[in-house]
A and B are shown apart, each in its own frame.
Chain A
Amino acid sequence: MNNPTDIKERVKKNIIWKSIFRRDYRNTVRDRAQAIFGNVFLHLHPVQVREGAVKLRFTWGMGGITFFAFIILVITGVVLMFYYHPSVSQAYSDIKDLEFQVPFGVILRNLHRWGAHFMVIVVMIHMFRVFMTGSYKAPRQFNWGVGVILLVLTFMLSFTGYLTPWDQLGFWAITVGTNMGAATPLLGYQGPFSEFLHITPFNDVRFALLGGSRVADNALLRAYIWHCVAIPLVSVILMFVHFWRVRKDGGISKPHK
């Protein structure tokens, strides 16, 4: 009973243990492959990678670093949400409180802000590398397309996050940005041909973005929901598609010798 092997056996026979680990791991090719197949995180990763493809000077590691930045942003973002109210009267004070009052608020906010800038830069370098190495070519056209959408989503995350501090910078950035929306052909009230669709300042795409005809409470709320819920959700799904396709398309593209 007190024999350690006995206890080990008992634990291993336990239904909880079994439900998690299913079966014993033996160092065989089959089990090694099974470990990858059976693990959602490792599952995304190819079983085998070409040696040349992981060379830093070829990939620059930019895709991975982008994902790393994204993870940091998610973690700091969630904590920031604990301290932030998306309302005109409180938003800016909350940012000030992060600076002055919240424990580790300064590092928290700065990580999020700088991390966001970092991610935008890195994701663009990643795209540049993919383009220069011709990795958009067949059979990777689809994944290039997914990547382009992810790039746009990253920009949108950055743009919507810009308004959340409710400072002059964000306020005017959103004013300018949504005014550009107002000049969209057909859908913006200032854009060409919009009169055919009876578009006015109160039913155009700008109105939809702002939840009103000027940058105010509703615009802040919408930016906040886009920033914290909708876009990250879509991004995560597409990211996993992106990684999955890397594997399915034969791993990271091979450098030309």
Chain B
Amino acid sequence: MANENKNNSNYRAYLFVFFSVVLLALTLWIVWDDEFGLRPWKNYQQEFKTLKHAQLEKEYSKAASDFQKSGDAQKLAALKAQLKKAEDLFNSNDVQEKYKKLNAQWVENHEHSVKNTKELQTARGQYLETEYYFTKTQKPEYKKKMDELQKQIDTIASRATVLQKQGDGLKSSLAPYTAGIADLQAEISKLESVLDEKKERIGTSDKVPVEIKQVYIKDIDKADRCQSCHIGIDGSKQISMKQPFTRHPASFVFLKNHDPEKFGCTFCHRGQGRATTSVVKAHGNEKHWDEPMLEGDMTQTSCLNCHGDVKQLRGAEYIAQNTELVRKYGCYSCHKIPGYDGFGDVGPVLTEVGTKVNYSWAINWLLDPKKYFSKARMPKFYFKQDEAEAIADYLFSMSGNTRHDVDYASAKPDEKLVDQGKQLWSQARCNLCHVTNGKGGNNVKVYAPDLSKIGSKVSKEWMFKWIKNPNAYFPGTKMPRFRFTDQEINALVEYIVNEYKDDDAEMKYTTPVEIKAESIRKGKDLILKYGCYGCHKLQGMEEMVQVAPSLLSQGVTFLKGEEMKEKIGAELSSIGSKPVDMLDFGKLKKSIPNDRLSYIKQKLRDPRGYRLGLRMPNFRLTESEINGLASVLYGFTDNNIPSRYMVPSRQQLDKIAGVPSYKFTGDFAKVIGDVKCTNCHSIKGIGADYAPDLTVAGSKLQESWIRKFLANPDVIRPLLQQMPKFGLSAGQTPQKVTMPKFNLGTQKVEDTNRSDVDVIINYFQQELVTTDIPKQIPVITTLSPEEQVAKGKELYDLKGCKACHQVGTEGGALGPNLSNVGNRLNPGFIFKHLENARKFKPDIVEPNYGFSERERIYLTNYLMTLKLNAK
């Protein structure tokens, strides 16, 4: 209207055309992008189909050539020729004439019979109708009609029987004409089916539609579309080694036990299961997606979601080994972690530490534990000199009022005592747990302290008391009480103090210096601040810990039990699912990747790095320990996983079922609390796997043998050689490890008049037995015992037992030495062991030979004759 100016409208026309073209192009681009650009899985699926097609094609051609080679092809040709011949015969005029005639009769019969059946149905219908009216009206005319119809039905039915008979007769006379042909056809199709099946598989696989493959799990609200690209992940065959087409590695463990249809993928691997538009997005490696995909060993962190116990779990070896680190460093001492309940049990009791160590040593230790012992578990708190002194003052004041050192550097050792002590040291196998000068300490899980410089750390008096009865100083310690005499302990102390001392140790307080009250108060504050009581017990003997009157008047008090209950660290029960936005990266926001795993690792690497004022000490972990611990922490999530996924641990199950967990009872509990058998042995699930499991020892071992062995593990030494399972790295020669000599049997158990050996044997025979192992083996009466033994020996040689087992001087060393097995094991155990060795020791390498019962009896009888006579 107003703008009808010609120039103006021309100008607008150009603009209009321009924008129209742009808009059209954009629209087309949107459509293209939506169909292809944003759906890259279509290409993957097409490619996979091509690969699969090629593989199936290959299989088919292989099958086809096999078919040719195996002579099946000729067979098929012969059969086909036979068929042709049979058909020709059938098609010949005279045969056809007869056949057609018969067939026509049959067709006629069939038509009649069909018609008859219809009539019968109609009559029956009418009958039912009439019957209905009759019951309704009770009119006699209906009754009459019913009778008529019944007659009609009977006639038709009898006619049907006749027709049926006729028809059957005709059919059976027709059958011989075509029987031969049908048989041949069946045989041919059977031969051809092998190839046809393969051909058909190509067809079916080609017809699989290209579409999103989704697993939806309602109760955890997961929609995983990973298999849209990882199309071959669950396949029965490896189609291609190229990603994303590979099969799941070790799927016989992982997918077999975790059906992808029920678990999806992100349940274990995390990542962004819904994403399908790009690899980066699907793997969750984008900003604002907190769960990047887990790969390789790190995926095992997800085992912790459901499995209460990963120790024996196949495929969870990495995480199992790392959960051990949480125990080792006692993370649960400061942090609340589900499943880890301990408190104050990582480090030694410190209530009387002032009577134990040198003050100078304590300061050095507090300043930097790794300086004294490179494998020290205690972390570095970055104390300043005065802070370390304040803490040491507090600890020392609990059992005295001076800073004091004892220096043995210049003392003259009693050589005779030292020699005796040295012998005792090796008999008691102190080096099994303790490291000295870089040697020993194979049983790593007891975390025994390094003794290389012990002579400059503790006093002789304390050491004497300690060895005499470790439980008195540190209830619950892993140190066993050896049954030494006082004289022996003196010798051992003399040896240790002289052999393992640090001549360069600085001793500032050989003349005691009084502790100042101010310093103690400061130490108390520091102990509260850093929560020392999380790892060390600082009380428990309140009546013994009294403030000296001189200090009391200056306002010094010691911490009470209730003041030391709180775990000072942050709760970690859901650290593995904490939103990244809630993690405080502080000073490092810009210098490290802002994801959860990096946060955890950096925290472990430099616990106080994020900002000022953090308290967590530095454990100076190795990079592999950091990765290991991070993998465990990453598995502590608060995902609400339905109970149907949960696999509770044995202990949890017992708790649910109300079954009390196994506890040692009676006098045996006293002995085991003293000798600490479970440091090395496992009994009914309690203890370590360092030495043989003793759960069924009562059924397995002979009493006399146990008695001899306990009294003197050295004498029967060759029989129990074990390769240490831990601390063994490549290139290191395995050491022969034997049980320490505890001098059992020399003392009576407290409050009883039985010796500890008697108590042990009694408990073994009462408690550590199983009905699975018979006391006696079946007896064969048809052969004399000698013949049976001979037969057993024959079998022993025949099956090649000596490849692994040694008897006398002959045989391999992989299995246990059998030279004295007749004295050691009960026949019932051998008999059962030969049947199924894995029953009592699941990870045993012994093969199963499938012996018959008779053979097992022969072998058992033979083995029972192998005896060494004790010298």
Q: Which of A's residues lie within 8 Å of B, judged by CB?
A: 51, 89-90, 93, 96-97, 99-101, 103-104, 106-107, 167-168
Q: Cα distance A96–B288 when bound, in Å?
A: 12
B212–A101 CB distance below 8 A: yes
A93–B34 CB distance below 8 A: no
Q: Which of B's residues lie within 8 Å of A, judged by CB?
A: 2, 30, 34, 38, 212, 221, 223, 225, 272, 274-277, 281, 288, 579, 581
Query: Closest CB-CB distance, B283 to chain A, in whole Å?
Result: 13
Q: Cα distance A22–B288 when bound, in Å?
A: 60
Query: Closest CB-CB distance, A42 to chain B, in whole Å?
Result: 14
Q: Of all chain A residues, which has the CB nearest B31?
A: A104
A100–B34 CB distance below 8 A: no
Q: Cα distance A107–B28 when bound, in Å?
A: 13
B275–A103 CB distance below 8 A: no
B30–A97 CB distance below 8 A: no
A93–B221 CB distance below 8 A: yes
A100–B221 CB distance below 8 A: no
Chain B residue contacts of A93, Cβ below 8 A: 221, 223, 274
A104–B30 CB distance below 8 A: yes
A100–B277 CB distance below 8 A: yes
A99–B221 CB distance below 8 A: no
Given A96-B275, A101-B274, A104-B30, 4 other A-B residues pairs in contact with their CB atoms under 8 A: A100-B38, A101-B225, A103-B34, A106-B38
Q: Of all chain A residues, which has the CB nearest B581?
A: A168
Query: Closest CB-CB distance, A137 to chain B, in whole Å?
Result: 26
Chain A residue contacts of B212, Cβ below 8 A: 101
A101–B276 CB distance below 8 A: yes
Chain B residue contacts of A106, Cβ below 8 A: 34, 38
B581–A100 CB distance below 8 A: no
Query: Closest CB-CB distance, B272 to chain A, in whole Å?
Result: 8
Chain B residue contacts of A168, Cβ below 8 A: 288, 579, 581
Chain B residue contacts of A100, Cβ below 8 A: 38, 225, 274-277, 281
Query: Closest CB-CB distance, B527 to chain A, in whole Å?
Result: 39
Q: Which 4 A-B pairs have the closest CB atoms?
A: A96-B274, A100-B276, A100-B275, A104-B34
20 A–B pairs (Cβ distance < 8 Å), ordered by A: A51-B2, A96-B275, A97-B274, A99-B275, A99-B277, A100-B225, A100-B274, A100-B275, A100-B276, A101-B212, A101-B225, A101-B274, A101-B276, A103-B34, A104-B30, A106-B34, A107-B34, A167-B288, A168-B288, A168-B579
Chain A residue contacts of B277, Cβ below 8 A: 99-100
Query: Closest CB-CB distance, B463 to chain A, in whole Å?
Result: 59
Query: Closest CB-CB distance, A77 to chain B, in whole Å?
Result: 19
Query: Closest CB-CB distance, B601 to chain A, in whole Å?
Result: 23
Chain A residue contacts of B38, Cβ below 8 A: 100, 106
Q: Cα distance A4–B378 when bound, in Å?
A: 104
Q: Cα distance A42–B581 when bound, in Å?
A: 52
Q: Cα distance A90–B218 when bound, in Å?
A: 11
A89–B221 CB distance below 8 A: yes
Q: Of all chain A residues, which has the CB nearest B38?
A: A106
A107–B276 CB distance below 8 A: no
Query: Closest CB-CB distance, B802 to chain A, in whole Å?
Result: 65
B30 interface neighbour in A51, A90, A99, A107, Cβ under 8 Å: A107
Chain A residue contacts of B288, Cβ below 8 A: 167-168
Q: Cα distance A87–B419 when bound, in Å?
A: 80
Chain A residue contacts of B34, Cβ below 8 A: 103-104, 106-107
Q: Cα distance A106–B212 when bound, in Å?
A: 17
Query: Closest CB-CB distance, B537 to chain A, in whole Å?
Result: 42
Chain A residue contacts of B225, Cβ below 8 A: 100-101
Query: Closest CB-CB distance, A83 to chain B, in whole Å?
Result: 13
Query: Closest CB-CB distance, B12 to chain A, in whole Å?
Result: 12
Q: Of all chain B residues, which has the CB nearest A172?
A: B581
Q: Of all chain B residues, which has the CB nearest A105?
A: B34
Q: Cα distance A51–B281 when bound, in Å?
A: 54
Q: Of all chain B residues, which has the CB nearest A104?
A: B34
Query: Closest CB-CB distance, B850 to chain A, in whole Å?
Result: 55
Most chain B CB within a 10 A radius of its CB, from A51, A90, A96, A101: A101
Q: Cα distance A206–B57 when bound, in Å?
A: 68
Q: Cα distance A70–B588 when bound, in Å?
A: 44
Most chain A CB within a 10 A radius of its CB, from B274, B275, B281: B274
Q: Cα distance A46–B274 when bound, in Å?
A: 52
Q: Cα distance A106–B281 when bound, in Å?
A: 14
Chain A residue contacts of B274, Cβ below 8 A: 93, 96-97, 100-101
Q: Cα distance A144–B806 when bound, in Å?
A: 105
Q: Cα distance A62–B611 when bound, in Å?
A: 50
Most chain B CB within a 10 A radius of its CB, from A89, A90, A104, A167: A104
Query: Closest CB-CB distance, A31 to chain B, in whole Å?
Result: 16
Query: Closest CB-CB distance, A161 to chain B, in whole Å?
Result: 19
Q: Cα distance A51–B3 when bound, in Å?
A: 10
Query: Closest CB-CB distance, A68 to chain B, in whole Å?
Result: 15
Q: Of all chain B residues, which has the CB nearest A103?
A: B34
Q: Of all chain B residues, which has the CB nearest A106?
A: B38
Q: Cα distance A97–B216 when bound, in Å?
A: 13
Q: Cα distance A167–B579 when bound, in Å?
A: 12
Chain A residue contacts of B30, Cβ below 8 A: 104, 107
Chain B residue contacts of A99, Cβ below 8 A: 275, 277
Q: Of all chain A residues, which has the CB nearest B278?
A: A100
Q: Of all chain A residues, which has the CB nearest B35?
A: A103
Query: Closest CB-CB distance, A58 to chain B, in whole Å?
Result: 15
Query: Closest CB-CB distance, B216 to chain A, in whole Å?
Result: 11
Chain A residue contacts of B281, Cβ below 8 A: 100
Query: Closest CB-CB distance, B444 to chain A, in whole Å?
Result: 44
Q: Of all chain B residues, which has the CB nearest A54?
A: B2
Q: Of all chain A residues, which has the CB nearest B274?
A: A96
Chain B residue contacts of A97, Cβ below 8 A: 223, 274
Q: Cα distance A101–B228 when bound, in Å?
A: 12
Q: Cα distance A51–B1 when bound, in Å?
A: 11
Q: Of all chain A residues, which has the CB nearest B2?
A: A51
Q: Cα distance A90–B223 when bound, in Å?
A: 11
Q: Of all chain B residues, which has the CB nearest A97?
A: B274
Chain A residue contacts of B275, Cβ below 8 A: 96, 99-100
Q: Cα distance A212–B419 when bound, in Å?
A: 80
Chain A residue contacts of B221, Cβ below 8 A: 89-90, 93
Q: Of all chain A residues, which has the CB nearest B276?
A: A100
Q: Cα distance A129–B277 when bound, in Å?
A: 43
Q: Cα distance A93–B579 when bound, in Å?
A: 17
Chain A residue contacts of B276, Cβ below 8 A: 100-101
Q: Cα distance A51–B4 when bound, in Å?
A: 13
Chain B residue contacts of A51, Cβ below 8 A: 2
Q: Cα distance A107–B272 when bound, in Å?
A: 21
Q: Cα distance A90–B272 when bound, in Å?
A: 15
Query: Closest CB-CB distance, A130 to chain B, in whole Å?
Result: 23
Q: Cα distance A104–B33 when bound, in Å?
A: 9
Most chain B CB within a 10 A radius of its CB, from A99, A100, A104: A100
Chain B residue contacts of A104, Cβ below 8 A: 30, 34
Query: Closest CB-CB distance, B456 to chain A, in whole Å?
Result: 57
Q: Cα distance A96–B223 when bound, in Å?
A: 11
Query: Closest CB-CB distance, A108 to chain B, in whole Å?
Result: 10
Q: Cα distance A167–B581 when bound, in Å?
A: 12
Q: Of all chain A residues, which has the CB nearest B580?
A: A168
Q: Of all chain A residues, which has the CB nearest B282?
A: A100
Q: Cα distance A89–B579 when bound, in Å?
A: 17
Chain A residue contacts of B223, Cβ below 8 A: 93, 97
Q: Cα distance A84–B276 when bound, in Å?
A: 19
Q: Cα distance A36–B276 when bound, in Å?
A: 52
Query: Closest CB-CB distance, A177 to chain B, in whole Å?
Result: 18
Q: Cα distance A107–B579 when bound, in Å?
A: 29
Query: Closest CB-CB distance, B279 to chain A, in whole Å?
Result: 13
Q: Cα distance A107–B276 when bound, in Å?
A: 16
Q: Of all chain A residues, which has the CB nearest B34?
A: A104
Q: Of all chain A residues, which has the CB nearest B221?
A: A89
Q: Cα distance A89–B38 when bound, in Å?
A: 25
Q: Cα distance A97–B277 when bound, in Å?
A: 11
Query: Closest CB-CB distance, B211 to chain A, in whole Å?
Result: 12
Q: Cα distance A106–B221 when bound, in Å?
A: 22
Chain B residue contacts of A101, Cβ below 8 A: 212, 225, 274, 276
Q: Of all chain A residues, which has the CB nearest B30?
A: A107
Q: Cα distance A90–B288 when bound, in Å?
A: 18
